[in-house]
Structure 1
Amino acid sequence: MHAVRFFDGAVALEGTLIVRNGVVHLLDDPAPAGAPRLEGLVTGLFTDHHVHLQLIDYKLLPGSRLGAVVDLGADLDWISEVADQLSAHESCPVNVRYAGPFLTAPGGYPSDRTWAPAGSVREIRDAAAADAVVAELADADVSLIKIVAHSEAGPTLVDATFEAIVHRAAAHRIPVIAHAEGPGQAQRAARLGAGRLAHAPFSERLAPEEIAAQAVSTSWISTMAIHEGEAYAIVVDNVRRFVAAGGEVVYGTDMGNGTMPVDLHEAEVDALREAGIEGDDLLTALAPADPLIPGAPLLFLPDDDPNRSRRLTPADLDALTTDPTDPEH
């Protein structure tokens, strides 16, 4: 038995590590007095709340520090099949939630982008079309619906159509996420009922009253590290003020947008810290899996640092009880 601190998704607690059949298990009871201690923190695998599996080598995920991902734009049939594959992985299942296609205006972003795979975009002409598409997605058991409001890259859905998607999604109890880009679009998406923004706002610094309003009505997916220069300064400032006002920010990278690891993106963790999200709040944003699930993979965080995290193995515990001067070891 080994003593350890563990993060249960909300707070750090005292627990016990044991090894059974070559697998490390976490128990939620404190270890006996005198048990060797693993210094650092243990928790479950992290969640990336914004990925695009069609644009990456998704087969690398089971070996990563991620145990769950949220796909925000893919062909519905393709992502459904891949989600099943990853959830059934024999050594390390990955939980995949997905929205299916981007819902956008006719000719709207990203319908004209060469990187957008066939079937990953649906152009919605009016409220009637919105009803039909949402019903189809609900029948396909999507976890959420993604609307695009990108005014700098083409037409956007009119308010009535945007609201029709939101209302029909609510009738099916499906959350709505919005890609909001361009002046006023983050404010508009929140006003029209999107419960989460796919990107923390980066087009402009939001006014204090808008920050306060969104802090009680929406949550944001971080995706700060995809920006540089003025856009990066804007997004960090917005996130810092949003969190100070009580808003929820969750870790997401927009994996597939440019070069980044199919793993925890350390630059995104650094950006969250720069915006003032530290300690338990940072771990909460990373939404780790329940570490007490029997046999679930565990992460070991030296100095409680997510960026130094690695898969916990029996060798980490053996090192605490093995005498390095013993010639047999």
Structure 2
Amino acid sequence: MTTHFLHGRGAVYPGFLDAHVHLALSDPGQLLTGGIARVLDLGGWLPDGLRTSMPDLAYAHQFVTAPGGYPSRADWAQPGWSCPVASPADAVSAVDLQVAAGASVLKITLNSAAGPVLGAEALAALVGRAHELRLPVVAHAEGAGQAERAFTAGVDAFAHTPFSERLGDGLVTAMAARMTWISTLDIHGWGSPTVAFEIASDNLRRFHCNGGRVLYGTDLGNGPLPIGVNHREIVALLGAGLTPDDVLAALCSSAPLGLTTPDSRVTFIPGERPQGPGAFADWLVTARALTRPELEVLA
């Protein structure tokens, strides 16, 4: 991660990434002024005109799930957002459909708390076909045993830090060796921590301590989340054992999950980086995403 300083004006970082958003459920026009230069949309149609207003974008297109599975029956999901898969043959077609729509990742859901989940053969076929096409697989894993099922099937990343149950130390260590976890801690209570928040924070702390790769992500569109860098998410990451440098790495990660790192925007934070975690979080939320010409004018 390369940092530049503008003669005492502030710090310039590679464009900050929110690795879990749903742009159709939020206002993407405010992301740039909130410091977010890159996004990974993990399910749902993209708003019209988005490619011109937020070009640093990768997306999953549909949620791939079991027939009747999450989120096909959720009131917030539009018709057609879910792609049902009942068999290995369906799985191949589903992956090919997402690729044809321009997907950079495959998003699958394994949410036994909200409906049926993919069977073992269909799940294996989805992961196998995606990897054959060099498409990373991101899973929403919710419900007892679903995180372990996803890991065993070869899923590359979790859309959320596992929050349904405390994962065993051995399993967390094995996951840390080859998986990426997207944080999304703040969705569990939005500032009023819940049991799920405590479980997720504990799982993330052990995953990070074992060298697991953590990406900053908020699940923007899910409840009262601020648009731009989320102060509560930063504080939660620090509380889970990440240092300020670790948090910056999670925000600036290069080429994760099919999202390249273009040079079109950087993230600028005015002022000097402060000492202390609380002041660090306050400083981060003053970030702005700027184009290179905008940065030159500022300098």
TM-score normalised per structure 2: 0.85
Residue 111 of structure 1 aligns to a residue whose secondary structure is coil
What is residue 27 of structure 2 aligned with on the other side? 57
Alignment pair present for 1:44 and 2:14 = yes
CA distance in 2, matches of 1:201, 1:113: 20
Change (3 A) 1:115 1:301: farther
1:221 is aligned to 182
Shift of 1:133: 1.4
Q: Which amino acid aligns with 1:41?
A: A
Cα distance in 1 for partners of 2:139, 2:261 equals 31
State whether residues 13 and 252 of structure 2, in contact with CA within 8 Å, keep that contact through their aligned partners in structure 1.
no
8 A contact 1:178–1:194 mirrored in 2: yes
How far is the alpha carbon of 1:139 from its aligned partner? Answer: 1.9
Match of 1:231 in 2: 196
Match of 1:278 in 2: 243
Instruction: Tell me if structure 2 keeps the 8 A contact 1:42–1:301.
Output: no
Where does residue 193 of structure 1 map in the other structure? 154
The equivalent of 1:101 in structure 2 is 62
Specify the code of the residue in structure 2 equivalent to 1:277.
Answer: L
Take 2:270 and 2:118, find their aligned partners in 1: how far apart are those partners? Answer: 45
Partner of 1:298, secondary structure, is: strand
**Cα distance in 1, alignment partners of residues 220 and 122 from structure 2:** 28
Pairing 1:123-202 to 2, within 5 Å after superposition? 123-202=84-163
Conservation of the 8 A alpha-carbon contact between 2:238 and 2:244: no
Q: Are 1:85 and 2:52 matched, yes or no?
A: yes
Change (3 A) 1:269 1:275: same
Aligned pairs (5 A) from 1:251-290: 251-287=216-252
TM-fit CA distance, 1:42: 2.9
Question: C-alpha offsets along residues 95-141 of structure 1, whole Å, 9 cap, x if unaligned?
Answer: 11100010110111111111002221111111111111111211222
What is the Cα deviation at residue 72 of structure 1?
A: 0.5
**SS state at 2:252 partner:** coil
Are 2:166 and 1:205 aligned? Answer: yes
Say if 2:111 and 2:146, in contact at 8 Å, map to a contact too.
Answer: yes
Q: Secondary structure at the match of 2:8?
A: strand
**Paired letter, 1:43:** Y
In the other structure, the counterpart of 2:287 is 310
User: How many correspondences in the alignment?
Assistant: 278
Q: CA deviation at 1:300?
A: 3.1
SS of the equivalent of 1:97 reads strand
Q: Tell me the percent identity.
A: 38
3-state SS of 2:73 partner = coil
The amino acid that maps onto 1:216 is A
Change (3 A) 1:292 1:259: closer
Deviation at 1:278, TM superposition (A): 1.1
Q: Residues 104 and 124 of structure 1 are in contact (CA less than 8 Å); yes or no, is this contact kept in structure 2?
A: yes
Q: Which runs of 5 or more residues in structure 2 are unaligned?
A: 255-259, 275-279
Q: Which runs of 5+ in 1 are unaligned?
A: 1-6, 18-36, 88-93, 318-329
Tell me the CA shift for residue 316 of structure 1: 7.8
Q: Give, as a single letter, the amino acid of the residue that structure 1 aligns with 2:270.
A: F
Distance apart, 1:173 and its partner CA: 0.8
Deviations 1:218-243 (A, max 9, x none): 11000011113211111111111111
TM-superposed CA distance for 1:217, in Å, is: 2.2
* Higher Rg of the two aligned structures: 1
**Which residue identity lines up with residue 52 of structure 2 in the other structure?**
Q
Residues in 2 aligned to 1:84 and 1:292: alpha-carbon distance in whole angstroms: 14
CA offset at residue 40 of structure 1? 5.7
Q: Report the CA distance between 1:143 and its aligned residue.
A: 0.6
DSSP 3-state at the match of 1:260:
coil
Q: Are the structure 2 counterparts of residues 301 and 224 from structure 1 closer, same or farther at C-alpha, using a change threshold of 3 Å? A: farther
Structure 1 match to 2:77 = 116
- Cα 1:262–1:127 change in 2 (3 A) is same
- Give the counterpart letter for 1:209 in structure 2: G
CA RMSD of aligned residues (A): 2.5
Amino acid at match of 1:245: N
Q: 1:158 to 1:279 in 2, by over 3 A?
A: same
CA positional deviation for 1:297? 5.4
